[in-house]
Amino acid sequence: MTTIHRAVHPARLRAADLTVGYDGFTVLDGLDLDVLTGRVTTIVGPNGCGKSTLLKALARLLRPTGGTVLLDGADIASRKPKDVARTLGLLPQAPTAPDGLTVADLVARGRHPHQSWYRQFSGADDEAVRSAMDLTATRDLADRPVDSLSGGQRQRVWIAMTLAQETDLILLDEPTTYLDLAHAVDVLDLVDDLSREHGKTVVMVLHDLNLAARYSDSMVVMAAGGIVAEGAPADIMTPDLLSEAFGLSATVVDDPVGGAPMVVPIGRCRRR
């Protein structure tokens, strides 16, 4: 396995010898991962290799059959769910909202971990919801039922809900799915701001290798339930790795904007 870290930041979130699966079948087997604090880490890999399983395990939604997930040095399984939800927010790959729930109500649900019987919805909650909707340009959708939105609008609304949670750690499973390229770039610029200006730690899953390379401090390349390479995009994105992880024949050039590695698949190439 290739492991190249450019800078050492203490990991607030760590998988140690993590083994996770479903109904007796193992997906991740003894996986180790340190999530770099304040940085953007992107997990890539072929369909079914275990990316979402890893994210769910990191967020305490799946209980490991072996090993541990450590949040701030403590086993995440021993922490109260609400306590975890104030520190770590997960946008799952295919979230579902109750029928008829409005956008404003869905985004407000991001504030639940901050409430209790003695602490009702406050001005700070209102402000967090408003700010999350501004950042995702979803304010004009506030009164619409979530189930009436287009795929891309819905995706932005779910991102707003995750941001309203105001956690230091944000896990996003394919946040750009359904988004047109302009909105995808907006979301990734927002991720960049969250990391650089607000010190958030972001772990996301993306399929677009070129956007992943451009927006990530570190990439984690998975295949068949394990990590095959990990490190700064410029250090790890090679034709050999793409062949090993994806079975993809490709060349890697410098992105003319910014110089990140850019993957150009060979495939069938014909002038049109």
3-state secondary structure 41-108: EEEECCCCCCHHHHHHHHCCCCCCCEEEEEECCEEHHHCCHHHHHCCEEEECCCCCCCCCCEHHHHHH
Is 49 a residue that touches ligand ATP (CB under 6 A)? yes
Residue 42 lies near Mg ion (rule: CB under 5 A): no
1 vs 253 by CB, closer to ligand ATP: 1
Task: In whole angstroms, give the CA distance from residue 9 to residue 5.
Answer: 10
167 is an interface residue for Mg ion by CB under 5 A: no
Q: Assess 175 for contact with ligand ATP (CB under 6 A).
A: no
Nearer to Mg ion, 204 or 262 (CB): 204
Of 124-163, which residues contact Mg ion (CB under 5 A)?
none
Taking CB under 5 A as the rule, does residue 93 contact Mg ion? Answer: yes
Contact between 155 and ligand ATP per CB under 6 A = no
Q: How many residues does the chain have?
A: 272
Q: Is 172 in the site for ligand ATP (CB under 6 A)?
A: no
Name the residue nearer to ligand ATP (CB basis): 47 or 120: 47
51 makes contact with ligand ATP (CB under 6 A): yes
Per CB under 6 A, the segment of 45-53, 63-71, 148-156, 243-251 that binds ligand ATP is 45-53
How would you classify the pairing of strands 226-231 and 25-36?
unpaired
Task: Say whether residue 93 binds ligand ATP (CB under 6 A).
Answer: yes
For residue 261, the cross-strand partners are: 254
Residue 190 CB, nearest distance to ligand ATP (Å)? 22
Q: How far apart are CA 246 and CA 2, in angstroms?
A: 16
**Binding span for ligand ATP by CB under 6 A among 46-54, 236-244, 252-260, 262-270:** 46-54
CB nearer to ligand ATP: give 61 or 194.
61
Stretch that binds ligand ATP, among 41-49, 134-142, 155-163, 239-247 (CB under 6 A): 41-49
195 touches Mg ion by CB under 5 A: no
Stretch of residues binding Mg ion (CB under 5 A), selected from 8-16, 86-94, 135-143, 215-223: 86-94
Q: Which stretch binds ligand ATP (CB under 6 A): 2-10, 47-55, 140-148, 161-169?
A: 47-55
Work out whether 27 is an interface residue with ligand ATP (CB under 6 A).
Answer: yes
For ligand ATP, the binding residues (CB under 6 A) are 22, 27, 45, 47-53, 93
For Mg ion, the binding residues (CB under 5 A) are 51-52, 93
